[in-house]
A and B are shown apart, each in its own frame.
Chain A
Amino acid sequence: MASQSDDYESVVKVKREEAVAEFRDDHKGFVKTVQHALHVTPSLVPLIVLIVSIIVFGSLLGSKFFSASSLTLILQQVQLVGIVAAAQSLVILTAGIDLSVGAIMVMSSVIMGQFTFRYGIPAEISILCGLIIGTALGAANGILVSKMKLPPFIVTLGTWQIILAANFLYSANETIRSQEIRTEAPILQLFGTTFKIGANEAGQGGATLTVGVIFMLVLVAFLAYMLRQTAFGRHIYAVGDDQEAAKLSGVNVDGVLIAVYALAGLICAFAGWALIGRIGSVSPTSGQEANIQSITAVVIGGISLFGGRGSIMGSLFGALIVGVFTLGLRLAGADAQWTYLFIGALIIIAVAVDQWIRKVSA
């Protein structure tokens, strides 16, 4: 090394023992500890908010709110939002957004109903067709996002309108009445089947669960397992976190995106089936709020809109928080607008917390 003219690095060369790349876990004080805990378990905030809001409403309203029947009523009221929010969570974890969730849900329910009643196809097969079409619509979103490299917001803004319009055109704005479904194809209302636990002889009180509620809980548990314990789940996070890095480290990014949007479509189709169970009839005009409600639940649930962070449990908690506020304020006799006011504030707080959690390097 002839021209190592000024050996400016000799100072650091000798100090070999200095641990530059060591992984130390300094004690950083309470705030940092909280920040770290939230970073590791992002669904902690919505869980705490949920528990606190149940306690607050419970102590204000007493047994009117804090009873098995009221609490399970919340579950029934949030089942659709909960299922759609699960689909939305997957998409948002990949740093995307799916504005077509509500449209896919309604379209699937209309297909299930119309195939059965217009063409006389057995209800089971119609349901299968609805699920397949929902998945295909989701996959179409996925292909546009991954292969055509279009922004998810724009893609799903477009498919939302297309699917919704197709839904009205196809159904001719016709509603299939609850009575007809109950007598001819009761399986369409399967998700509305109720179980009573601990009711008195007159069928009053006690916990009321529906197949839809149980489906929502099982779905969230399944997705939580998938996201944490399988390679596919880790890839969803990696794609949302840094798509380029994921690609370079060997993740099939396009495959993951298509699979996620298709899975979201399938879940929305199940939501469409659950929608029939919830409202009894098949109506092409129902479920229009599902888009905003699902995004609200996801954001309150602490899933980052920038992708790669958050847990699916969070969006279930987010949906439940909205449900608790809605029922709690209604039982308290407050104007329904208070609910929206609180939810709006919660959204902003949730995003602020997300930004704070991201500042980990500080």
Chain B
Amino acid sequence: MEPILKGRNLVKRYGKVTALDHCDFDLYPGEILAVIGDNGAGKSSLIKAVSGAVIPDEGEIFLEGKKIRFASPIEAREAGIETVYQTLAMSPALSIADNMFMGRELRKPGFRGKWLRQLDRSAMEKFAREKLSELGLMTIQNINQAVETLSGGQRQGVAVARAAAFGSKVIILDEPTAALGVKESRKVLELIQDVRARGVPIILISHNMPHVFEVADRIHVHRLGKRLCVINPRNHSMSDAVGYMTGAKVPDQEMEMA
């Protein structure tokens, strides 16, 4: 099977620090790939390189076999790669619908949209409501509610819904459960599985081993700026994974398939 998103020999240096050291990366269609690694292992740089937030110094990235080079996250987004950042990247004072369509607003058809540049609010609200209920975010009474009035889990839910609604090829989730309570994390994990059930592959960056082992199909272990190994969570324990991550244990084989 051909990976949907593939990185080869990626190098990223920040001054004297080498964050990515000839690193490879593979994401297969329809899977949840968790990326784990110690702090400073280069996880974020890897994710930023594939999501367009940083431009790698060397190496190549392929999306569906075609070579790509993103200059900004906006370009990656246009190619169908959506990222849910740890900070969520939402404007607190704006509404749920405004946030979901930020930067890709729908305009009214005809004269009012073309010449008066008028936004098609009802269409955007309808779409936002549909997407939120599709992901089981239940009955939204007020889609025009400001995002800051939502709880942490609800905000995360809206951010995931936004990515799921527009991410046609790949969805990247950066620490989606880090700031959440136990129940809210649960909800987000369910959302992640719902998204996978619809066939969109997901890259999940997390420090939470139980969550990673619960939802991931494969686990990419990142160490010292490169991919140490990819393991199947069914054949390894959490302590194995932590061992590989920290260097306490050496994996038997480099690549395992799901």
Residues of A that sit less than 8 Å from B by CB = 1-4, 8-9, 12-13, 15-16, 18-25, 39-40, 225, 229-232, 234-235, 237-238, 241-242, 244-246, 248-251, 308-309, 360-361
A249 close to B90 (CB less than 8 A) = yes
Chain B residues positioned under 8 Å from A1 (CB to CB): 213-214, 233-234
A12 close to B186 (CB less than 8 A) = yes
Q: Return B233 CB to nearest CB of chain A, in Å.
A: 7
B201 at interface (Cβ–Cβ under 8 A)? no
Chain B residues positioned under 8 Å from A235 (CB to CB): 102-103
Identify 8 new A-B residue pairs, CB closer than 8 A, beyond the known A234-B105, A238-B91: A20-B184, A21-B154, A229-B117, A230-B118, A238-B98, A246-B91, A249-B103, A250-B104
Per-residue CB proximity of B210-227 to A under 8 Å, as 1/0? 100110000000000000
In the A-B complex, the 9 residue pairs with the closest CB atoms: A250-B103, A248-B89, A3-B237, A231-B105, A21-B157, A241-B91, A2-B237, A249-B102, A23-B140
Q: Return A243 CB to nearest CB of chain B, in Å.
A: 10
B210 close to A242 (CB less than 8 A) = no
Chain A residues positioned under 8 Å from B118 (CB to CB): 229-230
Taken together as a complex, chains A and B put the C-alpha atoms of A39 and B190 apart, in Å, by 32
B254 at interface (Cβ–Cβ under 8 A)? no
We find that the number of chain B residues with CB closer than 8 angstroms to chain A is: 56
B17 at interface (Cβ–Cβ under 8 A)? no
Chain B residues positioned under 8 Å from A19 (CB to CB): 138
Q: Return B140 CB to nearest CB of chain A, in Å.
A: 4
B64 at interface (Cβ–Cβ under 8 A)? no
A238 close to B102 (CB less than 8 A) = yes
Chain A residues positioned under 8 Å from B85 (CB to CB): 248
A22 touches which one: B83, B137, B156 (CB < 8 A)? B137
B123 at interface (Cβ–Cβ under 8 A)? no
B137-158: which residues lie under 8 A (CB-CB) from chain A? Answer: 137-142, 144-146, 148-151, 153-154, 156-157
B79 at interface (Cβ–Cβ under 8 A)? no
Question: Could you pull out 28 A-B pairs where Cβ atoms are within 8 angstroms?
Answer: A2-B237, A4-B210, A4-B213, A12-B182, A12-B186, A21-B154, A21-B157, A22-B154, A23-B139, A24-B141, A25-B145, A229-B117, A230-B117, A230-B119, A231-B107, A231-B119, A234-B102, A235-B102, A238-B91, A238-B102, A241-B94, A242-B90, A244-B89, A245-B89, A248-B89, A249-B89, A360-B148, A360-B149
B236 at interface (Cβ–Cβ under 8 A)? yes
Taken together as a complex, chains A and B put the C-alpha atoms of A25 and B187 apart, in Å, by 20
- Smallest Cβ-Cβ distance to B211: which chain A residue: A9
Taken together as a complex, chains A and B put the C-alpha atoms of A249 and B85 apart, in Å, by 10
B77 at interface (Cβ–Cβ under 8 A)? yes
Chain A residues positioned under 8 Å from B116 (CB to CB): 225, 229
B55-99: which residues lie under 8 A (CB-CB) from chain A? Answer: 73-74, 77, 83, 85, 87-94, 98-99
B16 at interface (Cβ–Cβ under 8 A)? no
Per-residue CB proximity of B228-258 to A under 8 Å, as 1/0? 0000011011110000000000000000000
A251 touches which one: B83, B92, B102 (CB < 8 A)? B102
B153 touches which one: A20, A40, A231, A246 (CB < 8 A)? A20
B198 at interface (Cβ–Cβ under 8 A)? no
Given A23-B154, A229-B119, A237-B94, decide whether A250 and B146 contact each other with a Cβ distance below 8 A: no
B73 close to A250 (CB less than 8 A) = yes
Chain A residues positioned under 8 Å from B234 (CB to CB): 1
B149 close to A20 (CB less than 8 A) = no
